[in-house]
Structure 1
Amino acid sequence: MSHSAARHTLAALGATLLTLTSAAVAAPVAAAATTPERVILVPTADPSTSQTITWRSDDSGSPVLEIAPAASPDQVTTVDGAKTDEVGGTFHAVTANGLTPDTDYRYRVGDGAVLSPWRTFTTASAGADPFTFLYFGDVQNGISTGGAAMARAALAAEPDAELAVHAGDLVNDADSESEWTEWFEAFGAEATGTMNHVTTAGNHEYALLSLSDYWRPQFPTPGNGASSWGRHLPDTSYHTDYQGVRFIVLNSNYRQAAPLGSRIWMDIQRDWLEDVLADNPHPWTVVTFHHPVFSNSPDRDNGVLRDAWLDTFEEYDVDLVLQGHDHSYGRGNVAANGTDDPRVQTGPVYTVAVTGTKMYDIAEDNWTDNGAEVRVQLSDTPTYQAVEVDGDFLRYTARTADGTVVDSFTIDKGDGKVVTDTF
């Protein structure tokens, strides 16, 4: 049984109702191996009662999911899958609905004759039970070396992590078969197949003005994102609720997706974001997208994003804004949220991180010139981040591959919201 199966005590289980959802597009390429590969868990809007799974194989049979409560492995339900895309092989997707919260399920996928190994995932709790998630910046370069080492270090240090958030630029070349193979190998079949992965598209997930052919079939959204005006918003914006946290994914690639209407494109996402924040029933909010509202790099500025979204983050007091793109580490806040205690702030926390080997110079100018302050800023420092959510507390720790802590802070909502540096 996988590490995810050990996270929860098994409850009494009843019958499970499962249904199928999927989406379809087309882009034929050569076939993959028969054995199911690139099996990955993708979150639905409510991971406590449903789970989406995607994978790739050849096109020799009809895709199926076999699933059973781990406590009753003989109660197998078979669900027909759907072929979604042809990119280096045939991609498939299936969504199991009607699952029981806080419950271990074992499953396998394939064509009925050739199936993947049995793996186990755990549905989210219905309430705000404690959990840990991982946050990765750009993997992009040196995937099989630096990125893989960092991913494995994170998974070894946090074996009970239930979710991974990826802030874009998972690969360098949007449509590179070899790089996507390296990315899946870096995280490993156990991690991709047993924990949900919240992904946001970076600029390197675009080839010229087109979203990667691999994106939709690998990472289908729950279908609750921003409107379809312009390009790609239904495929790249969404939200998912996990044990007291609303995770919101935005697409910051206005240069690639809407070069002739960037402000309109950003405003549509802002209006959607406001609705999602106003309707959030949970105590915590995490927003992720690729390009930072405050750039860590000299001569970079994403003013269109800042003008469109920053006031909304501040107005709704978003807890974490997780970003990538600048190939360095940074953490800060809007200066107006500072207090007399230099270790304490209020308001949203903005972070920038990198996981791979490509590094850029750093400067504070874009932060300070736009009313923000830098609390931690590091060059030449790839990291992974572990975020523990436990009741009124959120504890964030950034580490290098060897386990060195380079930043940490705690958000305490017990008596008003206070963010305290702990590093």
Structure 2
Amino acid sequence: MPARPAPLLALGTALALALAPAPTAAAPADAPDRVLLTPTATPDTARTLTWRSAPTPTPLLQIAPAHDPHDITEVAGTTTATLSGRAHHTATATGLAPGTEHRYRVGDGTAFGPWHTFTTTAGTDDPFTFLYFGDIQNDITDGAAPVVRAALAAEPDAALALHAGDLIDSADNDAQWSEWFDAFGTRTATLDHLAAPGNHEYSATSLSARWTPQFPGNGTGPTTGRDLPDTVHTTDYQGVRFIVLNSNYRNAAPLNTTAWLDTQRRWLQEALQDNPHDWTVVTFHHPLFSNSPGRDNAPLRTAWLDTLEEHDADLVLQGHDHSYARGNLTANDTADPDVHTGPVYAVSVTGPKMYDVSPGNWTANGARPRVQLDRTQTFQTVRVDGDTLHYTARTADGTVVDAFTIDKDGTDKTVTDTR
């Protein structure tokens, strides 16, 4: 097990803050804000935008190829909610050219926000990088945002940010959502964001009223079951199938947990079995192997573990336990202590709220953590390049706390520790 890294270095954090995008500047009260880019099921040809504005009957998206900015297509938006005096809108642009930079803006047909750019995926297996964030959740401005900005500065060409739940602490606290958007600045509008809901996106048994207006489902998940159409889905992203599950059985389905999780299991099996790509990344909030003493999510293991193992999912990215861990089933170990096969299970935390760690729940359920760290805020960089996937976990000052590669050669796959 690697030694615990030193605390975040002030110099490194200061450098990250200097290099990263500045928080979104205050806008006029009637201007669009919280512009968020979300990948559809087919991000090579379509993207969904969500945003807020003063209430308007005519929300509108204007989009054009960057190389021909006058070839503007207008897409009528839909108002999905009005919360805290602001109207939330969504619009999906379709028929886009793959692998092409686009520029867009949102508004009401008369007044618009600034132009932003994004690039559609290539529609092929071209290399790309994505970022993985665990719980941002607490003390966002002072505690979590420096790590987020360090990630954006370290990986300016990242195509996507994956969030394993608990983006904020109180489901419908508008000020906390403002802090989350400010942490990413304008990168909410130019970087794809793929998010699974955590328990803090729920208030008792109710999903945040802000969740679906900001992170709409794309229609690929289960069509029935409480919250499932909005929170469970896939996106096929340049050689990777990303699968988002909802692990909040205590909140969303306390009275029918088994049926609710089994609905997702059957859908997950199809999503894995029908995957046309070489790579699979699955994300949800609560870990299959709890990293914190006294915690356990046995219903999740019962429902999903065998399916993930049977179909050999590559990465299973989780949060919730406010610590860092990465491991695998011991049945997938090899004679080389640095090499294993099968899925990789990771837990991470980006915000400053911390819990103790223990290997107990891992080992009691046939698994082991190869790395476990407490008191360590991290972001993760994942580079997918042909038959190889490179994963690196770092602190805000750039210290590498974990790294491994996954290599595929035909039907064979090996996971090799590289730190």
Given the two structures, how large is their TM-score scaled by the length of structure 2?
A: 0.92
Q: 1:114 offset after TM fit, Å?
A: 1.7
Deviation string, structure 1 residues 308-344 (Cα, Å, up to 9, x no partner): 1000010000000000000000000000000010000
Deviation string, structure 1 residues 81-132 (Cα, Å, up to 9, x no partner): 1111111210010000000100000000011222111110000011110000
- The answer for unaligned runs of 5 or more in structure 1 is 1-31
Provide the rounded CA distance (Å) in 1 between the counterparts of 2:379 and 2:43: 24
2:107 to 107, 110, 123: 110
For residue 76 of structure 1, what is the aligned residue in structure 2? 72
Residue 285 of structure 2 corresponds to residue 290 of structure 1: yes
For residue 178 of structure 2, what is the aligned residue in structure 1? 181
- Return 296-305 or 73-82, whichever deviates more: 73-82
Provide the rounded CA distance (Å) in 1 between the counterparts of 2:328 and 2:244: 20
For residue 37 of structure 1, what is the aligned residue in structure 2? 33
SS at match of 2:409: coil
For residue 404 of structure 1, what is the aligned residue in structure 2? 399
For residue 250 of structure 2, what is the aligned residue in structure 1? 255
Provide the rounded CA distance (Å) in 1 between the counterparts of 2:56 and 2:332: 58
Provide the rounded CA distance (Å) in 1 between the counterparts of 2:67 and 2:329: 49
SS at match of 1:267: helix
For residue 366 of structure 1, what is the aligned residue in structure 2? 361
Deviation string, structure 1 residues 245-289 (Cα, Å, up to 9, x no partner): 000000000000000010111111000000111110000000000
1:302 to 293, 297, 302: 297
Deviation string, structure 1 residues 130-176 (Cα, Å, up to 9, x no partner): 00000000000011112110110000000000000000000000000
Deviation string, structure 1 residues 17-40 (Cα, Å, up to 9, x no partner): xxxxxxxxxxxxxxx921100000
1:48 counterpart letter in structure 2: D
Aligned 8 A contact 2:65 2:102 in 1: yes
- The answer for unaligned runs of 5 or more in structure 2 is 1-27
Aligned 8 A contact 2:49 2:92 in 1: yes
2:386 to 370, 375, 391: 391
Matches within 5 A, 1:305-384: 305-384=300-379
For residue 143 of structure 1, what is the aligned residue in structure 2? 140
Aligned 8 A contact 2:56 2:87 in 1: no
Aligned 8 A contact 2:55 2:82 in 1: no
Q: 1:185 offset after TM fit, Å?
A: 0.3
4+ residue runs over 2 A deviation: none
Provide the rounded CA distance (Å) in 2 between the counterparts of 1:238 and 1:103: 24
2:188 to 185, 192, 205: 192
Deviation string, structure 1 residues 206-250 (Cα, Å, up to 9, x no partner): 001100010010000111112312x10111100001000000000
For residue 202 of structure 2, what is the aligned residue in structure 1? 206
1:59 counterpart letter in structure 2: P
Provide the rounded CA distance (Å) in 2 between the counterparts of 1:132 and 1:233: 28
For residue 67 of structure 1, what is the aligned residue in structure 2? 63
Deviation string, structure 1 residues 46-92 (Cα, Å, up to 9, x no partner): 00000000000011451111111100111112221111111121001
SS at match of 1:413: strand
For residue 57 of structure 1, what is the aligned residue in structure 2? 53
Provide the rounded CA distance (Å) in 1 between the counterparts of 2:229 and 2:203: 18
Aligned 8 A contact 1:61 1:112 in 2: no
Provide the rounded CA distance (Å) in 1 between the counterparts of 2:78 and 2:355: 42
Aligned 8 A contact 1:227 1:268 in 2: no
Residue 187 of structure 2 corresponds to residue 171 of structure 1: no
Provide the rounded CA distance (Å) in 2 between the counterparts of 1:234 and 1:66: 27
The Cα RMSD (Å) is: 0.9
SS at match of 1:155: helix
* Number of corresponding residues: 390
Matches within 5 A, 1:270-285: 270-285=265-280
For residue 218 of structure 1, what is the aligned residue in structure 2? 214
Provide the rounded CA distance (Å) in 1 between the counterparts of 2:329 and 2:40: 32
Given the two structures, how large is their TM-score scaled by the length of structure 1?
A: 0.91
